[in-house]
Structure 1
Amino acid sequence: MARELHRLSTRGIESTIKKGTEGYGAHNDGGGLTLVIDKFGVRWLFKFTSPVTGKRREMGLGTLATVSLADAREKASEGRGMIAKGLDPLLERATAEAEAVRGAVTFEQCANDTREILRKKWTFDGAVEQWDRVVKELGDLRSMIVKHVKGIDIAKALAVFDDRPTTKKFALSVIRRTMETAVASELREDNPAMTSRVGRLTSLEYKGGNNPSMPYSDVPAFVATLRARDSRAARAFELLILTGTRKEEVAGMLREELDLGKLTWTIPAERTKQRREHVVPLTHRVVEILRQQLDMVDCMVSGVNAHSRNPVATPAHVWADLRSPRLSHNAFQHLLPAGVSVHGFRSSLREYLGDETSVSWNTAEETLGHKVGDATAKAYRRAPGLAKRRAALQYWADFIDGSSNETANKIDKTSAAQGIEEQAA
């Protein structure tokens, strides 16, 4: 039996290899172990019939340079032992390799994979930067094998955000979503980052609430300070305030979205929070800001192309310049007074329309791009209400300019017409 299994010898193999092409072929050692010599080299194969599929299979055991005759026989013996138990050696090796790969995935690798999955749903470019910034602050958690992460490890990583409760809440969200990916990828069986579990290990108190806003009575004076600054960030910020739009929408504004002839800005669904197209009516001051910005960029591009052999194309983004392709998500932060958020100016506009004008509730909400009504109401509400929203934003612009008294009568007259139209609708 031993002779049937061990037909080859180390000296015999060396002699066969020295024959060159004459030694090419498959040399059987017995028990399924075969040494193959050809133009590609010298390598071991284990040939067997799978007890799982009933098919003939071949499993590579390595080259002669790395696997000796004795080692090859030991591997072949292990394979025959698996077959005796009804196992397929190739399937078992693939399973072991996959398990080894899963066992080596770090939290940071899984977080990066999660980011790539989620970024398709995010509506602003700054989300990727925000995600990566939080992951970098998670300390030792980043390099931990994701299958070994426990609740105590998460609590320790979150400690760095104790003085930033808002960021701490977001960081926990990053960890929780990463663990969801790990569970879905079968890298682990449970998610230790659930709020109910982590909350027992670290404080998750969040004193958030609404975005802090500026009283609308103070907005005109603030806008005046923006107009005194000669910067694209200041101009973009003023436009944001006048249109009641979000900073992500303004920062990512594209030229192709504008129709200055019709005085509209159409924000596509993929760039809005509500995931539906939003048409913003443009007031005269907004158009003035846009023309100033576009003319300035066009002038810079023309100047460069007139003196360069490498012409540059006109940027697609409205708030681009020759140094950066678009406006940064955080470009407005240095312009903000203490205790006020960029998003809060939407509240300032909403409060002004509710307190100082007769603009209807529906129109005020639609001006901010909010969804109004249930599914039935939306089925009948197909017109964009552009004229009413244009009037609402003009009242806001006039108030900021200090000429709201001139439109007081216009507001009263329009309110009556709005009431009739809404009853008819």
Structure 2
Amino acid sequence: MARELHRLSTRGIESTIKKGTEGYGAHNDGGGLVLVIDRFGARWLFKFTSPVTGKRREMGLGPFAMNTLAEARVKASNNRDILAKGLDPLVERDRVAADAIRDSVTFEQCANDTRDILRKKWTFEGAIEQWDRVVKELSALRTMLVKDIRGADIAKALAVFDDRPTTKKYALSVIRRTIETAIASELREDNPAMTSRVGRLTSLEYKGGNNPSMPYSDVPAFVASLRAKDSRAARAFELLILTGTRKEEVVGMLRDELDLGKFIWTIPAERTKQRREHVVPLTRRAVEILRQQLEMVDCMVREINAHSKRPVEPPAYVWADLRSPRLSHNAFQHLLPAGVSVHGFRSSLREYLGDETSVSWNTAEEVLGHKVGDATAKAYRRAPGLAKRGEALKYWADFIDGSSNETANKIHEASAVQGIEEHAA
């Protein structure tokens, strides 16, 4: 029996390898252990019939240079023991490898992998920083193996956000999406971070509904207070309110997106939530704000270049200054009254258009960059409706101004319509 199992010798193998092409072939040591020698070198195989599928299979045991004859025989013997138990050695090897991975991947590692996957879809430029900051604060989970996390662990980790309910819900979404990645990677089978489950262990203060908004009747007074502050953030905030756009779209605004002569701001698809280009018609006041901001920055650049041997170029971001390339995503927080969100001003605009104007439902939705209609309707709705949206935003701007200066409005309206028509053409 020993001769049937141990047919090869180390000296014989080395001699066969030295023969070059003459030694090419499969050299059987018995018991399923085979040494294959070819132009790629010498390597060990274990050949067997799977007791699970009944099919012939081959299992690599590594190159001869890294596995002596004695070591290869030990591996082959171990595999024969596995076969004797009615198991498939390849399946068992994969299971052991998977267990080793599950026993090594921490929550933080999986969260970083999840972030790298999701970042391709994110339009909010501060999203990566926000994600990493929350993961860092989840200190109770960071070093835990993702396979071991349970609902009680999640509730304990979320306790640090008890005084920040909005951040707490976002942190839970970070955990939930991270564990979804773990499930897809076969690191675990269930997700204990579902809101319905975690909500039984800790208060999420989830009330549903939309972002808290300001009644549109209060918006004119609030905008007047912004104008009194005369700061970059205040001007950017007013522009956001006038255009009904999102915070990320405003703070990330680039110079080359603007055509102020035509009263147009074109937000590229990669910077919009809907992932499609959104053309925003600008009102007279919006253009005034933008020209003021650009002139202030350009004036600073000219001043520097007049006294410096190293000239600088105007920054690409509209809301840049010489100290920072762009506005922070938290720049508006100190300007907000209690109980109101930045995003909520979009609701204020929408409610005003619905309650106080004859603007159609479709146009009002398109002002906010929302998709209107089903696939068929969108196929026929190819025109951007700029003129109607421009008129709707003009109503909003006039309401905020409390303006009755019809002459100024008509001059603006004529200029804006001309620019919009030229853009559409």
Q: TM-score range by the shorter chain?
A: 0.7 to 0.9
Moved more, 238-247 or 86-95: 86-95
Moved more, 284-293 or 180-189: 284-293
**Is the contact between residue 215 and residue 348 of structure 2 (CA under 8 Å) also seen in structure 1?**
yes
Q: Does 1:59 align with 2:61?
A: yes
Deviations 1:95-143 (Å, cap 9, x if unpaired)? 5334312321111211221122222222211222222222222232221
Equivalent residue runs for 1:210-229 within 5 Å: 210-229=210-229
Structure-2 separation of matches of 1:33 and 1:347:
72
Structure-1 separation of matches of 2:356 and 2:289:
26
Structure-2 separation of matches of 1:375 and 1:55:
51
- C-alpha change, 1:371 and 1:88, in structure 2 (3 Å) is closer
Deviations 1:5-33 (Å, cap 9, x if unpaired)? 78999xx99xxx9xxxx9xx9xx9x6699
Structure-2 separation of matches of 1:48 and 1:381:
64
Structure-1 separation of matches of 2:311 and 2:305:
5
Equivalent residue runs for 1:201-240 within 5 Å: 201-240=201-240
- In structure 2, the partner of 1:115 is 115
Equivalent residue runs for 1:171-190 within 5 Å: 171-190=171-190
- C-alpha change, 1:377 and 1:59, in structure 2 (3 Å) is closer
- C-alpha change, 1:34 and 1:360, in structure 2 (3 Å) is closer
Shift of 1:246: 1.0
Moved more, 303-312 or 189-198: 303-312
Q: Does 1:157 align with 2:145?
A: no
- Give unmatched runs, 5+ long, in structure 2: 36-41, 414-425
- In structure 2, the partner of 1:40 is none
Equivalent residue runs for 1:340-379 within 5 Å: 340-379=340-379
The DSSP-based 3-state class of the residue aligned with 1:315 is coil
- C-alpha change, 1:152 and 1:63, in structure 2 (3 Å) is farther
**Is the contact between residue 165 and residue 205 of structure 1 (CA under 8 Å) also seen in structure 2?**
yes
Q: Does 1:326 align with 2:326?
A: yes
Residue identity matched to 1:268: P
Shift of 1:265: 0.7
- In structure 2, the partner of 1:39 is none
Shift of 1:301: 4.1
- In structure 2, the partner of 1:286 is 286
Structure-2 separation of matches of 1:305 and 1:91:
69
Shift of 1:249: 0.9
Q: Does 1:405 align with 2:404?
A: yes
Residue identity matched to 1:360: S
The DSSP-based 3-state class of the residue aligned with 2:262 is coil
- In structure 2, the partner of 1:418 is none
**Is the contact between residue 255 and residue 317 of structure 1 (CA under 8 Å) also seen in structure 2?**
yes
Structure-2 separation of matches of 1:47 and 1:381:
64
Shift of 1:48: 4.1
Q: Does 1:268 align with 2:268?
A: yes
Q: Identity over the aligned pairs, expressed in percent? A: 78
Deviations 1:377-411 (Å, cap 9, x if unpaired)? 44443322222222222232233333x23349x89
- C-alpha change, 1:347 and 1:199, in structure 2 (3 Å) is closer
Structure-2 separation of matches of 1:249 and 1:349:
17
Aligned length: 398
Structure-2 separation of matches of 1:304 and 1:265:
29
Structure-1 separation of matches of 2:355 and 2:88:
76
Residue identity matched to 1:290: L
Equivalent residue runs for 1:296-307 within 5 Å: 296-304=296-304
Shift of 1:247: 0.6
**Is the contact between residue 44 and residue 64 of structure 2 (CA under 8 Å) also seen in structure 1?**
no
Q: Does 1:102 align with 2:102?
A: yes
Shift of 1:208: 4.9
Shift of 1:63: 7.5
- In structure 2, the partner of 1:130 is 130
- In structure 1, the partner of 2:384 is 384
Structure-2 separation of matches of 1:311 and 1:3:
85
Residue identity matched to 1:293: Q
Shift of 1:87: 7.2
Structure-1 separation of matches of 2:4 and 2:214:
91
Moved more, 300-309 or 130-139: 300-309
- C-alpha change, 1:205 and 1:55, in structure 2 (3 Å) is closer
Aligned CA-pair RMSD: 4.2
Residue identity matched to 1:185: S
Shift of 1:317: 2.2
Deviations 1:230-282 (Å, cap 9, x if unpaired)? 43222211111111111111111122221222211112233222333221111
**Is the contact between residue 226 and residue 235 of structure 2 (CA under 8 Å) also seen in structure 1?**
yes
- In structure 1, the partner of 2:193 is 193
- C-alpha change, 1:107 and 1:388, in structure 2 (3 Å) is same
Structure-2 separation of matches of 1:348 and 1:56:
68
**Is the contact between residue 59 and residue 90 of structure 1 (CA under 8 Å) also seen in structure 2?**
no
Equivalent residue runs for 1:135-154 within 5 Å: 135-154=135-154
Structure-2 separation of matches of 1:47 and 1:372:
62
**Is the contact between residue 46 and residue 76 of structure 1 (CA under 8 Å) also seen in structure 2?**
no
Deviations 1:319-345 (Å, cap 9, x if unpaired)? 223333322211111222222221122
Equivalent residue runs for 1:61-76 within 5 Å: 74-75=74-75
Deviations 1:173-231 (Å, cap 9, x if unpaired)? 22222221111111112222223333333334413533222333433333233233343
**Is the contact between residue 107 and residue 146 of structure 1 (CA under 8 Å) also seen in structure 2?**
yes
Structure-1 separation of matches of 2:208 and 2:163:
13
**Is the contact between residue 33 and residue 46 of structure 2 (CA under 8 Å) also seen in structure 1?**
no
**Is the contact between residue 61 and residue 72 of structure 1 (CA under 8 Å) also seen in structure 2?**
no
Structure-2 separation of matches of 1:89 and 1:308:
73
Structure-1 separation of matches of 2:146 and 2:251:
36
